[in-house]
Structure formats: structure tokens, C-alpha cells
């Protein structure tokens, strides 16, 4: 298998060094510097990055673009800001069937991941991602290491698994490519925070208190930005957050330590930190993508965003403000016959307003009172709602007058209905907050029923 790794830095070199252990792989680092290529090929060293390490003798390096043309698999191991320029230069030399593997971490404008950028500019879905709790300095010394592979097809998974045979790299996997990409940048944000806390307090109790809160916020951000919650429990999630937050080899943790000790100053142009700060740009991009309601649930994130955007000189931690948060319970009602995208959207947006979502669903008997006839029975509609991840509790709606009792009995903080009911439930404002959400355009249960009736 012809494998080309674009990028001869520490990470590209360490991955290539492992891949070269599999004698079925022909591995070449594509580099810009002829002297670097000559050193790797003749001396089996890359002393700029690993001054005391002898590389695998089967690992090659080249500056020749023909290396790209012959590649069956191309790994990208570059700083994210360099990828667009390099890809524009190389895309005319890439075989249409090549498999791209993104090792780089970053976030582009409007929330595009690197994989999404590559899929668009290369007009291909043959792009996968690999992220995990792995330092290049450990991997080059043959430490057993794990990555999460985010992939589209079984053939992609089989190919990646095959080329890593006989290496010390292991793979867990998911089809949630966006989630893997998101977590690789989200963990940098919270690694900065853990570094700050460790520098200020040097306390395991305090460290893991904040780490627990950080993990919770990453879950919210992952779901909000389009990833799947279960991806958080793979090596790209829990593992990568741990290694990046708690190990001093981490560049973002190092930044946090500098901030916590007072050695980093936002206002100082002369005081440039040499650490590569992936997290800083990410914070700005993500902040623009979040609603005000979501930001209220992200006290750690908003504190760090404020520190950088307001150019604060000291990072003060007020634990009462960061951690003491009242659970907010949301209540909504509906018939939820023929469960569709519009229903899911209003449930999603309702859940975003708080921590727990209670849904009242009209019984068959109550529907008769309202003059409605459902296609699906109450028991089945309740079963469907119970299976929706946004819903925490389903209760029966048996009459018009139960809402005040439901609010009191379930300790409701926010009552939510569609904006077609606007003003009709304002009498509940003496018991809780009342919000009317816009309906999803283009779809409704009535419309679906008319389509079904026509086809009957």
C-alpha cells in the first residue's frame, strides 16, 4: 500500500515511523525541504523534531510531487491554517480514488471542520479522521497508543485497520466524523482551563471538580455543534481530554499554566507565547455559533472566552458563579401523532433551554374532547417520545386545566409551546417562565395526514 504523509513534523514523522513497521506499507513523508528529505533517507533521523531518535529504516521522505500522485492513502499532518494552501497546490496531483486521513486539528470559519473542508474542495467523501490521546514524543518511542477513527464506509475502516497491523497504534471507531473532529478542538479549550486551575490551586480536589464540569460542558457543545453524545466516550473524547488537560507535554495546558501563574498578558504584544494555541481561535469561532441560552449553560467556556475577548489581565475564578447552577426543567405539550422532523426540532430547542424536558402528550380520550383523531395510539406515541434522546419524562395530558398542577408537581421552570399558541398561556407566567418557539416551516402533522389520506 502506497502511503504518503503530508507533513514532516513531529506528528507526521511519528505516525509514519509506526506505519513503516508494517512491511506491506510503503511509507513516504512528503516534505518541502530537500535537506530534511536527505537526512531522513540517508541518516534515518529527523533531528529538528527528534534529536535523539533513530527512525525506521523503511520510512522514506521526498519533495517530489510524484509521491502524491502515486499515493493510495494520504495522511494530513499539518497545522490547520496551512491546509487550504497546501491542498490547493496538491489537489491536481491526487488520484480520484485516494483515501484521505486527517490527523490535523482545527476549526474553520462558520464551524466547518477540516474533513468537511476537504470533502468540499476535493469533491469526495473518501475522507476519514483519526484523533486520540497521543503525544508524538511518546509514539516515536513505540508507546502503545490509541486513536478514534471517524469513517463513512466499512471499506475505509478495513483499509485503516489493515495498514496499522504490526504497529503500536490501536483503533476504536465511529461513523460520527464531525463529532471526532469537534472533540479534537473542544478538548484544547478545557485543557487551558485545567492548566489555569492547576497553576492557581495545585489541588487534585479542585482539578477534578473543574475537569468534571469541563466534561459536562463538552457534552453540551458536542451535541449543539452537530456531534453524537456517544462519541465523547471514545478515545477522541474522554482519553484526549484527559491527556491534553493533565499532562505537561500538552501545549494548551502549558498556556493555562502560564495564565494561572501570571506570565501571560493579553494586552502585551511583546510577550508572545511560543506555544501553538489551537484553542484560542476555536473559542472565537464557537462563541459565534452559540445561542445566548446555550452560553448560559457553559460557565467555564464563557469565562475563558471573556478572558481573551476582553483582554483581561488576570483570570479570577469564582467557584460559586462557575459551578452553582440550578437545574432548569422545561415542560411542553402536544399530540405528537406521526412523529416528524418538526416535532424533533421543537423538542431539541426546548431541551436546549434547560437540563430536563418533561413532555405532556394528549391521551386518546382527551383527543376526542378536542375533536382530534390520531393515526397512532397514545401508548405508541408515548413509546416513540420515550425513545427520543431529548425527552426525560413523558406524562399524560387528560384535560385542559392540568397545566398548573403539572408545573407544580414537576417543579417546572420554563413552559414552552409553539408560536401558534402565542399569548394563550400567559396566565402561567405567575408560576414559571413562558416561551413560544417558532414552528418548523414546511412540515406539519396535518400536511402528513392529508398525504396519507390521499394515498389510502
Q: What is the pLDDT of residue 449?
A: 45
Set of cell numbers at residue 120 = 468540499
Predicted confidence (pLDDT) at residue 20 exceeds the cutoff of 80: yes
User: What is the CA 136 to chain-centroid distance, rounded?
Assistant: 22
CATH class of 329-455: alpha beta
Q: What is the pLDDT of residue 448?
A: 41
User: What are the pLDDT digits (tens) for 329-350?
Assistant: 999 999 998 888 888 989 988 9
Residue 456 or 317, more confident: 317
Is it true that domain 179-323 has CATH number 1.20.200.10?
no
Nearest to 300 by CA among 236, 248, 235, 245: 245
pLDDT over 70 for what percent of the chain? 93
User: What are the pLDDT digits (tens) for 345-384?
Assistant: 899 889 988 889 999 999 999 999 988 888 899 999 999 9
Predicted confidence (pLDDT) at residue 16 exceeds the cutoff of 80: yes
**pLDDT band per the 50, 70, 90 thresholds, residue 316:** confident
Q: What is the pLDDT of residue 135?
A: 96
Alpha-carbon distance of 245 to 283, in angstroms, equals 16
Helical segments of 4-146, H only: 10-19, 34-43, 66-70, 83-90, 114-122, 136-139
Comparing 200-214, 273-287, 395-409, the range with the smallest average pLDDT is: 273-287
Q: What is the pTM of this model?
A: 0.83
Q: What is the pLDDT of residue 221?
A: 94
Mean per-residue pLDDT, 298-320: 89
Residue 123 or 278, more confident: 123
Whose cell is 497491523? That residue is 165
Set of cell numbers at residue 449 = 395526514
360: Cβ contacts below 8 Å, ≥ 6 apart: 331, 332, 333, 334, 394, 395, 396, 397, 402, 403, 406
DSSP-assigned beta bridge partners for residue 3:
27, 73
Comparing 71-80, 293-302, 352-361, 441-450, the range with the smallest average pLDDT is: 441-450
Set of cell numbers at residue 361 = 402528550
Identify the three-state secondary structure at position 151: coil
Q: What is the pLDDT of residue 275?
A: 44
Q: What is the pLDDT of residue 279?
A: 60
Q: What is the pLDDT of residue 446?
A: 52
- Answer whether 45's CB lies under 8 Å from 54's CB: yes
User: What are the pLDDT digits (tens) for 176-201?
Assistant: 999 999 999 999 999 999 999 999 99
Predicted confidence (pLDDT) at residue 93 exceeds the cutoff of 50: yes
Listed by start position, the domains of the chain span 2-175, 179-323, 329-455
Same fold, 2-175 and 329-455: yes
Instruction: Starting at the earlier edge strand, list the strands of the sheet with 356-362.
Output: 393-397, 356-362, 329-334, 414-418, 433-437
- Answer whether 172's CB lies under 8 Å from 234's CB: yes
Q: What is the pLDDT of residue 300?
A: 94
Alpha-carbon distance of 421 to 318, in angstroms, equals 41
Q: What is the pLDDT of residue 124?
A: 95
Mean per-residue pLDDT, 136-150: 97
Mean per-residue pLDDT, 398-426: 95
**pLDDT band per the 50, 70, 90 thresholds, residue 440:** low
- Answer whether 429's CB lies under 8 Å from 417's CB: no
| Helices and strands (H and E) in the chain: how many | 20, 13
Q: What is the pLDDT of residue 272?
A: 46
Q: What is the pLDDT of residue 293?
A: 79
Alpha-carbon distance of 300 to 317, in angstroms, equals 10
Residue 345 burial class via C-beta count within 10 angstroms: exposed 0-12, middle 13-18, buried 19 and up: middle
Q: Are strands 329-334 and 2-6 parallel, antiparallel or unpaired?
A: unpaired
84: Cβ contacts below 8 Å, ≥ 6 apart: 117, 121
**pLDDT band per the 50, 70, 90 thresholds, residue 442:** low
Give the catalytic positions in this structure: 370, 372
Q: Residue 323: how many CA atoms within 13 Å on its side-chain side?
A: 13
Ramachandran class of 190: left when φ > 0, alpha when ψ lies in -120 to 50, beta otherwise: alpha
Alpha-carbon distance of 320 to 266, in angstroms, equals 25
**pLDDT band per the 50, 70, 90 thresholds, residue 294:** confident
- Answer whether 302's CB lies under 8 Å from 328's CB: no
Q: What is the pLDDT of residue 274?
A: 40
Alpha-carbon distance of 33 to 92, in angstroms, equals 21
Alpha-carbon distance of 91 to 72, in angstroms, equals 14
Pick the CATH number of 2-175 from 3.40.50.2300, 1.10.3810.10, 3.40.50.720, 3.90.1150.10: 3.40.50.720
Predicted confidence (pLDDT) at residue 66 exceeds the cutoff of 80: yes
* Terminal C-alpha separation, the chain: 56
Q: Residue 296: how many CA atoms within 13 Å on its side-chain side?
A: 11
Alpha-carbon distance of 170 to 164, in angstroms, equals 8
Q: What is the pLDDT of residue 401?
A: 94
Nearest to 113 by CA among 214, 216, 280, 226: 226
Amino acid at each position: 500500500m502506497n502511503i504518503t504523509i503530508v507533513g514532516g513534523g513531529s506528528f507526521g514523522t511519528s505516525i509514519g515511523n509506526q506505519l513503516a513497521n508494517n512491511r506491506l506499507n510503503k511509507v513516504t513523508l512528503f516534505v518541502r525541504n530537500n535537506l530534511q528529505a536527505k537526512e531522513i533517507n540517508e541518516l534515518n533521523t529527523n533531528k529538528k523534531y527528534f534529536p535523539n531518535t533513530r527512525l525506521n529504516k523503511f520510512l522514506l521522505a521526498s519533495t517530489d510531487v510524484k509521491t502524491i500522485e502515486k499515493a493510495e492513502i494520504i495522511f494530513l499532518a499539518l497545522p490547520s491554517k496551512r491546509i487550504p494552501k497546501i491542498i490547493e497546490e496538491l489537489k491536481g496531483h491526487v488520484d480520484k480514488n485516494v483515501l484521505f486521513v486527517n490527523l490535523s486539528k482545527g476549526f474553520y470559519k462558520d464551524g466547518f471542520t477540516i474533513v468537511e473542508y476537504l470533502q468540499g474542495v476535493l469533491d469526495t467523501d473518501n475522507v476519514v479522521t483519526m484523533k486520540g490521546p497521543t503525544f508524538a514524543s511518546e509514539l516515536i518511542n513505540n508507546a502503545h497508543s490509541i486513536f478514534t477513527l471517524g469513517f463513512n464506509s466499512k471499506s475505509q475502516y478495513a483499509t485503516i485497520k489493515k495498514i496499522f497491523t504490526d504497529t503500536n497504534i490501536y483503533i476504536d471507531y465511529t461513523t460520527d466524523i464531525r463529532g471526532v473532529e469537534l472533540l479534537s478542538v473542544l478538548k484544547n479549550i478545557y485543557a487551558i482551563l485545567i492548566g489555569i486551575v492547576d497553576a492557581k490551586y495545585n489541588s487534585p480536589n479542585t482539578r477534578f471538580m473543574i475537569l468534571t464540569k469541563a466534561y459536562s460542558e463538552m457534552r453540551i457543545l458536542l451535541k449543539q455543534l452537530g456531534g453524537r453524545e456517544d462519541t465523547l466516550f471514545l478515545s477522541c473524547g474522554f482519553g484526549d481530554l484527559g491527556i491534553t488537560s493533565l499532562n505537561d507535554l500538552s501545549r494548551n495546558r502549558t498556556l493555562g499554566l502560564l495564565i494561572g501563574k501570571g506570565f501571560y498578558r493579553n494586552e502585551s504584544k511583546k510577550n508572545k507565547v511560543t506555544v501553538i494555541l489551537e484553542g484560542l481561535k476555536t473559542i472565537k469561532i464557537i462563541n459565534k455559533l452559540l445561542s445566548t441560552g446555550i452560553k448560559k449553560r457553559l460557565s467555564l467556556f464563557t469565562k475563558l472566552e471573556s478572558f481573551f475577548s476582553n483582554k483581561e489581565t488576570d483570570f479570577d475564578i469564582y467557584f460559586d458563579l462557575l459551578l452553582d447552577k440550578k437545574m432548569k426543567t422545561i415542560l411542553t405539550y402536544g399530540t405528537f401523532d406521526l412523529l416528524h422532523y418538526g416535532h424533533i426540532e421543537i423538542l431539541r430547542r426546548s431541551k436546549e433551554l434547560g437540563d430536563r424536558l418533561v413532555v405532556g402528550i394528549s391521551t386518546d380520550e382527551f383527543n376526542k374532547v378536542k375533536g382530534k383523531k390520531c393515526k397512532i395510539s397514545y401508548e405508541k406515541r408515548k413509546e416513540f417520545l420515550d425513545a427520543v434522546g431529548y425527552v426525560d419524562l413523558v406524562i399524560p395530558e387528560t384535560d385542559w386545566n392540568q397545566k398548573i398542577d403539572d408545573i407544580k408537581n414537576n417543579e417546572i421552570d420554563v413552559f414552552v409551546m409553539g408560536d401558534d399558541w402565542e399569548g394563550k398561556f400567559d396566565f402561567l407566567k405567575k408560576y414559571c417562565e413562558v416561551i413560544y418557539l417558532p414552528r418548523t416551516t414546511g412540515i406539519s402533522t396535518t400536511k402528513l395526514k392529508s398525504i396519507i389520506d390521499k394515498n389510502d
